[in-house]
């Protein structure tokens, strides 16, 4: 049995699951593994490093994959979109900014335009830009997000599309890490899901082993959505976005003290970068979402995807055993 949705039809994939374009973590090997297992893998174009992007596309081999960019960062290096489009992506995802300047180029390259949105207002803007697929992202997500929660945001955007743009598909993102999350998202009316944190903890992801060791021990209680990590990395994220990570000594020390942290200057910034490189997770915070509490082992991406889909099928066919005749 397989789960067929408008997403599997539209993107010509077997399973209604996309892996998120996670900056630095989602390279070509992860994207290819997800695509080869029947989903669609997206390379994390992130903040836009041409050499990294070129190298990671090569790592994907012949797999059909896609790519995602942080839109406000792409605005500073718009030529990087051509690097992605030259590789015939099946889809390009834009998040955190105005997609309109790029929509035409993406669609004329026969790639699906996916816009990740955090509010209903952004969903409307993405529809105006001609998005083929909206990703409704809740603040449970790993990495950057807005402030709304996945559970009510997804059906609100599903309703919006049903009323105003019935051809546009909707994916759920934020907190989905297993078959229950996939099944629940389909129940909310989504056509599929975009999964970040669970694939961040795949064997193929580009993540420091010390970060993974922390993640498999952690509960979802232990994450924090904050600007600390952006301030110390010197990344100028526009409000209202903040980044969800595991809490550690560094985030506990500086959360709420971001202005003072900014005044600390280069020494603390360099120390943080060094800590990230050597895997000192008391300083460098692992970038992962609330779904971390559902991640107990590091597995190949294909195994993660297959288990997620098989479990979702069980829930969708058998139900939760809650409704009994009579």
User: Which positions lie near ligand FMN, rule CB under 6 A?
Assistant: 20-23, 25, 44, 46, 68, 70, 95, 116, 137, 140-143, 173-176, 194-197, 200, 287-289, 291
Cβ of residue 25: shortest distance to ligand FMN, in angstroms? 5
User: Which residues are CB-neighbours of 234 under 8 A, at least 6 positions away?
Assistant: 269
Nearer to ligand FMN, 46 or 155 (CB): 46
User: Which residues are CB-neighbours of 232 under 8 A, at least 6 positions away?
Assistant: 250, 254, 261, 268, 269, 272
Nearer to ligand FMN, 264 or 273 (CB): 273
Nearer to ligand FMN, 70 or 182 (CB): 70
Cβ of residue 200: shortest distance to ligand FMN, in angstroms? 5
User: Which residues are CB-neighbours of 204 under 8 A, at least 6 positions away?
Assistant: 27, 29, 30, 32, 33, 300, 301
Nearer to ligand FMN, 247 or 264 (CB): 247
Nearer to ligand FMN, 140 or 315 (CB): 140
Cβ of residue 316: shortest distance to ligand FMN, in angstroms? 20
Cβ of residue 326: shortest distance to ligand FMN, in angstroms? 39
Question: Is the backbone of residue 141 left (phi > 0), alpha (psi -120 to 50) or beta?
Answer: beta
Helix (H, G, I), strand (E, B) or coil at 89: coil
Cβ of residue 45: shortest distance to ligand FMN, in angstroms? 7
Cβ of residue 132: shortest distance to ligand FMN, in angstroms? 16
User: CA-based angle 206:143:217, to the nearest 5?
Assistant: 70
Cβ of residue 3: shortest distance to ligand FMN, in angstroms? 18
Angstrom distance (rounded) from CA 138 to CA 66: 22
Angstrom distance (rounded) from CA 17 to CA 5: 10
Beta strands (DSSP E) in the chain are 17-19, 40-46, 66-70, 91-95, 112-117, 133-137, 143-145, 169-173, 192-195, 223-226, 242-246
Nearer to ligand FMN, 189 or 293 (CB): 293
User: CA-based angle 157:159:160, to the nearest 5?
Assistant: 60
Which pair of structure tokens corresponds to residue 172?
A: 């759920």
Judge whether 162 and 190 are in contact, CB under 8 Å: no
Cβ of residue 167: shortest distance to ligand FMN, in angstroms? 23
Judge whether 51 and 27 are in contact, CB under 8 Å: no
Which pair of structure tokens corresponds to residue 115?
A: 């816009």
Nearer to ligand FMN, 160 or 205 (CB): 205
Q: Cα–Cα distances in Å, from 82 out to 59, 74, 127, 144, 301?
A: 18, 11, 23, 25, 28
Nearer to ligand FMN, 213 or 264 (CB): 213
Cβ of residue 137: shortest distance to ligand FMN, in angstroms? 4
Nearer to ligand FMN, 156 or 264 (CB): 156
Closest-by-Cβ residue to ligand FMN is 196
């Amino acid at each position: 049995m397989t789960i067929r949705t408008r997403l599997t039809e539209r993107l010509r994939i077997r399973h209604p699951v996309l892996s998120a374009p996670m900056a630095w973590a989602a390279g070509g090997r992860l994207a290819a593994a997800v695509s080869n297992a029947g989903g669609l893998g997206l390379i994390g174009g992130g903040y836009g490093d041409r050499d990294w992007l070129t190298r990671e596309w090569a790592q994907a081999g012949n797999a059909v994959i896609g790519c995602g960019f942080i839109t406000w960062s792409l605005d500073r290096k718009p030529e990087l979109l051509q690097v992605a489009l030259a590789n015939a992506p099946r889809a390009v995802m834009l998040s955190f900014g105005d997609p309109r300047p790029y929509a035409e180029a993406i669609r004329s390259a026969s790639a699906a335009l996916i816009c990740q949105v955090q509010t209903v207002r952004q969903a409307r803007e993405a529809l105006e830009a001609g998005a083929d697929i909206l990703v409704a992202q809740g603040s449970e997500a790993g990495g950057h997000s807005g402030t709304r929660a996945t559970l009510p945001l997804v059906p609100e955007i599903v309703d919006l599309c049903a009323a105003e743009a019935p051809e546009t598909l909707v994916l759920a993102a934020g907190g989905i890490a297993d078959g229950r999350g996939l099944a629940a998202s389909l129940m909310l009316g989504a056509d599929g899901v975009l999964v970040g944190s669970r694939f961040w903890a795949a064997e193929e992801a580009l993540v420091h082993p010390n970060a993974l060791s922390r993640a498999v021990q952690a509960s979802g209680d232990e994450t924090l959505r904050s600007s600390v990590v952006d301030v110390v990395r010197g990344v100028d994220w526009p409000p209202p976005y903040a980044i969800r990570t595991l809490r550690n000594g560094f985030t506990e020390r500086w959360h709420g003290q971001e202005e003072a942290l900014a005044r600390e200057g280069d020494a603390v910034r360099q120390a943080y970068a060094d800590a990230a490189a050597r895997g000192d997770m008391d300083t460098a915070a692992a970038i992962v979402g609330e779904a971390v509490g559902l991640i107990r082992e590091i597995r190949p991406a294909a195994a993660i995807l297959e288990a997620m889909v098989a479990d979702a099928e069980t829930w969708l066919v058998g139900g939760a055993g809650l409704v009994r005749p009579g």
